[in-house]
Chain A
Amino acid sequence: MACASCALQVETVLRHTPGVVQASVNPALNDAVVLYNSAVTSEAAVRAAIRQAGYRVAGDDGSSGDAPASAPERVSDEEREYRTLMRKWWFGAAVGIFTMIFSYPWLLPVLRDWLPRGSEQLRYLWMGMGVLSFAVLAYSGSQFFTGMWASLRSRQANMHTLIAFGTGVAWIYSTIAVLFPQIFPEEGMTEVYYDVTVVVTALVVLGLAMEIRAKGRTSEAIKKLIGLQAKTARVLREGRELDMPVEEVLVGDVVVVRPGEKIPVDGVVLSGSSAVDESMITGESLPVEKREGDEVIGATINKTGAFQFRAAKVGSDTALANIIRMVQDAQATKVPIQRVVDVVSSYFTPAVMILAIVGFVIWYLFGPAPALTYALVVAVTTLIIACPCALGMATPMSLTTGIGLGAQHGILIRGGEALQKAKELNTIVLDKTGTITHGKPALTDVLVTGSFAGDEVLMLAAAVEESSEHPLAQAIVEGAEARGLRLSEAAEFQAIPGHGVEGRVGGRTVLLGNVKLMRDRGIDVAGLETPARGLADDGKTPMYVAVDGRAAGIIAVADTIKPDSTEAIVRLKKMGIQVVMITGDNERTAKALARAVGVDRVLAEVLPQDKAHEVQRLQLEGRVVGMVGDGINDAPALAQSDVGFAIGTGTDVAIEASDITLIKGSLRGVVTAIQISRATMRNVYQNLVGAFIYNTIGIPIALGLLYPIVGILLSPILAAAAMSFSSVTVIGNANRLKRFRPSVSAA
């Protein structure tokens, strides 16, 4: 949009669109704010109206203007750039073959006779080559010259500057040599370097094209995340089911999801039930059961049943949009070592230019004849072989791949610093409740006395508890259901606060509660008190059951260990990391659990507010400490630790509190996160060392350091190939990271 009159034109068109209440267009920002009646028109219709007025609407490919969603457009940008570069390469390559042959016609038997060295016809041919190679510089090499101009204006230098200078100098020298051969004292100097100009340009352009392809693969993870977004949603409005683009779903809408469909936005299930595949967000491969009141995450796939849910988060507020934004931002961060690299690269390019001049002068003063030729070749080769790009790309490429890799496994890494620290961890502190264990009680033991059967007691207790709202009650009910017991209806249910519950099931009186309740009712539980104490010592909560006035048994519930905790702890220890458990439980209970999962150090009886202090004490022992907790209660400890791992579940992503967020609530994520960090940092170092070695070896060779020793002088064309190859190698190495497979993962 060019001017205010265009803005006015679009506004007029919009105001005349049925259903539009108000429209204002800002030409400077290229945006339009349109207020419309959604009963009459839709966003799509508004977009269509703008298009009809002859303007393009950003994000017309189904995306909105938000940062995460604008990526599909970027893909086509990339594709367009790739095609342009390839055209430039083919043009350069075609001219390149021609110039290669006719720059040295005396090397070919047939041409030797037609175009002898120093002949008039060869000079005319070279003039033609000069024109053609200028065309290559102007077309294929245009970005180097515009880039050089732009960077020089802001007094900076980059790869463009080097390539433009290198090819430009070669072209100017050749042109002077062709037009005014008489100014050169020796005949040998009147050779031309149009082949250098053309082939170097072509090779570097080809390198850029390959970079774009490789870079596209680096950010594949983000593209995959963006591709997860649902395109349409089926929404209930005024009693009718309407299919609409997902952008038009509003908070509070009731969304209908059928089997096999993608859940469009985040929300809470209103009715129906199903199993949902959440692997794309959490990395959990098993489908998750969803019932009324459960949260569903946008972009996950509904498997079995149909259900309706109320949209809670839409657009850029959804969990997926947050994840995408976080992954994108994480890529913008720096690994601490990058700061050193930055300082180096800010001096690098001008330093290379200085070296090229130094090389030129030395070869001119002390080099063999023809001195000018050698001096020129050395200077041009030096300019071209230096690859500031490889240095600059070394970390960002690996970071992008590594962080994207994490996202695919349900691990959100905050940035480069977190990656570097996670690699150095030698101690992991695990919060017991909710981290090693489920954080919610489950049925563990059923003990019986006399003639009672285990299932009988459990069934009676569960039937009574079904009417209770106590969390322990739910554990008993779920435990009974898990054993396949059918629960009959309980009558005369009564909760006795602080003691227990009672009720009648199938004509039998059932009493469930603590020892005080039993004594109050005159029930003899003497035989059960010892096992009850044993259960309590193990950190479990025992409850007495009495049926028809007689003691029937004990039901115990406890927070249970997550099935994969033990495996993850074994893995961590194998990786050379000491595992410490922190808990508010008493020493004995904590030690019992620690033994069960294989934790070697226990910090027991720690009050919640002292957790951060304990982490600090470990740090004072010289350890690099990672803290794993739930992100809410453990926030201070997470902040104190070197790397805070927040274990979240579903949409409840506590991104802010932590360095690394595990979307799935499994400890295996900690193992995978550390493995990814180690792999990524290793990749970063490989790239940096590679780029550094390439430049420290390549530049001296280009300067001709090998010439006095073994008589080798690098050709500028080989230098161009090497430099293109080096930056592609860096990206290729970063892409290698994608082959990483975590050693523990359900996926």
Chain B
Amino acid sequence: MTPDKILVLLGGAGAIAFIVWFFWLVRKEGVRAALTSSGYQEAMILVKGGYTPDVIRAEAGKPLRLKFRREETAGCSDTVLFPDFGKSAQLPSGEVVSVELMPQARGEYGFQCQMGMLRGKLIVE
């Protein structure tokens, strides 16, 4: 095996290891929704190529208000879905749209765009 082939082999193995680690092995901390004086837990989410932050932590049994602000016109992100809550919201670009949820049980609930290309996670504790 020539040196360049060994290099490619090692490089490839390294890249695969990096991908596995980067996408699958790292646990995301996420952002905790802040409790407001009105009793709501609130978090802002920027929609631009993805959801930022994409992991929201919230407490069970307290109403949660997620404020989405979409700063792009790409067609995919124009609707956000919460399949576990049966809720959806249209996100016109440049506007803040609130989605109110009542997380009852602990667990992880996904939210996503209509095609499932952008994904986020709601962790209820």
Provide the bound-state CA to CA distance between A364 and B89, in Å.
Answer: 48
CB proximity to B under 8 Å, residues A137-161: 143, 146-151, 153-160
Check: B8 CB closer than 8 A to any chain A CB. Answer: yes
Chain A, interface residues (CB within 8 Å), range: 35 or more
Given the known interface contacts A212-B75, A333-B83, the answer about A360 and B12 at a Cβ–Cβ threshold of 8 Å is yes
Give A contacts to B, CB under 8 Å: 28-30, 58, 67, 70-71, 73-74, 77-78, 80-81, 84, 143, 146-151, 153-160, 208, 211-212, 215, 328-334, 338, 341-342, 345-347, 350, 353-354, 357-358, 360-361, 364-365, 375, 388-389, 391-393, 396, 400, 414-415
Chain A CB within 10 Å, residue with most, of B78, B82, B115: B115
Is there contact, CB below 8 Å, between B117 and A154? no
Is there contact, CB below 8 Å, between B81 and A332? yes
Is there contact, CB below 8 Å, between B73 and A84? yes
Given the known interface contacts A149-B49, A350-B19, A396-B114, the answer about A155 and B28 at a Cβ–Cβ threshold of 8 Å is yes
- Mark interface residues in B106-119 (1 if CB within 8 Å of A CB, else 0): 00001000111111
Provide the bound-state CA to CA distance between A675 and B118, in Å.
Answer: 32
Check: B48 CB closer than 8 A to any chain A CB. Answer: yes
Is there contact, CB below 8 Å, between B52 and A332? no
Is there contact, CB below 8 Å, between B24 and A350? yes
Tell me whether chain A's interface is mostly helix, strand or loop, or mixed.
helix
Given the known interface contacts A154-B28, A155-B22, A342-B110, the answer about A331 and B116 at a Cβ–Cβ threshold of 8 Å is no
CB nearest neighbor in B for A81: B73
Is there contact, CB below 8 Å, between B49 and A332? no
- Mark interface residues in B14-28 (1 if CB within 8 Å of A CB, else 0): 011001101110101
Q: How far is the CB of B58 from chain A (nearest CB, A)?
A: 18
Provide the bound-state CA to CA distance between A424 and B91, in Å.
Answer: 35
Is there contact, CB below 8 Å, between A333 and B86? yes
CB proximity to A under 8 Å, residues B22-56: 22-24, 26, 28, 48-55
Is there contact, CB below 8 Å, between A215 and B75? yes
Is there contact, CB below 8 Å, between A158 and B74? no
Chain B, interface residues (CB within 8 Å), range: 35 or more
Is there contact, CB below 8 Å, between B16 and A396? no
Is there contact, CB below 8 Å, between B88 and A354? no
Chain A CB within 10 Å, residue with most, of B72, B83, B98: B83
A contact residues around B24 at 8 Å (CB): 347, 350
Question: Could you say which of A143, A361, A393 contacts B8, with CB atoms under 8 Å apart?
Answer: A361
Is there contact, CB below 8 Å, between B19 and A392? no
B contact residues around A151 at 8 Å (CB): 49-50, 118
Provide the bound-state CA to CA distance between A357 and B78, in Å.
Answer: 33
Q: How far is the CB of B66 from chain A (nearest CB, A)?
A: 13
Contacts A77-B78, A154-B120 known; list 16 others, CB within 8 Å: A29-B98, A67-B97, A70-B90, A77-B73, A78-B78, A80-B73, A81-B74, A158-B117, A158-B118, A159-B117, A215-B75, A331-B81, A391-B116, A393-B116, A396-B116, A415-B86
A contact residues around B48 at 8 Å (CB): 146, 150
Provide the bound-state CA to CA distance between A392 and B118, in Å.
Answer: 10
B contact residues around A208 at 8 Å (CB): 75
Is there contact, CB below 8 Å, between B88 and A331? yes
Provide the bound-state CA to CA distance between A154 and B47, in Å.
Answer: 12
Provide the bound-state CA to CA distance between A212 and B75, in Å.
Answer: 6
Check: B62 CB closer than 8 A to any chain A CB. Answer: no
Check: B92 CB closer than 8 A to any chain A CB. Answer: yes
CB proximity to A under 8 Å, residues B55-83: 55, 67, 72-75, 78-79, 81-83
Provide the bound-state CA to CA distance between A733 and B100, in Å.
Answer: 33
Is there contact, CB below 8 Å, between B110 and A354? no
Is there contact, CB below 8 Å, between B16 and A146? no
CB nearest neighbor in B for A354: B16
B contact residues around A157 at 8 Å (CB): 23
4 shortest A-B CB distances, which residue pairs? A150-B49, A332-B88, A392-B116, A361-B12
Provide the bound-state CA to CA distance between A619 and B93, in Å.
Answer: 48
Check: B102 CB closer than 8 A to any chain A CB. Answer: no
Chain B CB within 10 Å, residue with most, of A29, A153, A357: A357
Q: How far is the CB of A92 from chain B (nearest CB, A)?
A: 16
Is there contact, CB below 8 Å, between B83 and A154? no
Is there contact, CB below 8 Å, between B8 and A332? no
Question: Could you say which of B20, B52, B67 contacts A153, with CB atoms under 8 Å apart?
Answer: B52
Is there contact, CB below 8 Å, between A357 and B16? yes
Given the known interface contacts A73-B92, A215-B75, A388-B117, the answer about A358 and B8 at a Cβ–Cβ threshold of 8 Å is no
Chain A CB within 10 Å, residue with most, of B5, B67, B79: B79
Provide the bound-state CA to CA distance between A342 and B83, in Å.
Answer: 12
Chain A CB within 10 Å, residue with most, of B12, B19, B72, B98: B12
Q: How far is the CB of A63 from chain B (nearest CB, A)?
A: 10
Given the known interface contacts A143-B74, A156-B54, A332-B86, the answer about A30 and B96 at a Cβ–Cβ threshold of 8 Å is yes
Check: B95 CB closer than 8 A to any chain A CB. Answer: yes
A contact residues around B53 at 8 Å (CB): 154
B contact residues around A354 at 8 Å (CB): 16, 19-20
Provide the bound-state CA to CA distance between A415 and B84, in Å.
Answer: 11
Q: How far is the CB of A604 from chain B (nearest CB, A)?
A: 37
A contact residues around B12 at 8 Å (CB): 357-358, 360-361
> What are 15 A-B pairs with beta-carbon distances under 8 A?
A30-B95, A70-B90, A81-B73, A84-B73, A143-B74, A147-B74, A153-B52, A328-B90, A329-B86, A331-B114, A333-B86, A350-B24, A354-B16, A361-B12, A400-B114
A contact residues around B1 at 8 Å (CB): 365
Provide the bound-state CA to CA distance between A509 and B68, in Å.
Answer: 75
Provide the bound-state CA to CA distance between A148 and B50, in Å.
Answer: 9
A contact residues around B49 at 8 Å (CB): 143, 146-151, 160
A contact residues around B9 at 8 Å (CB): 361, 365
Is there contact, CB below 8 Å, between B23 and A358? no
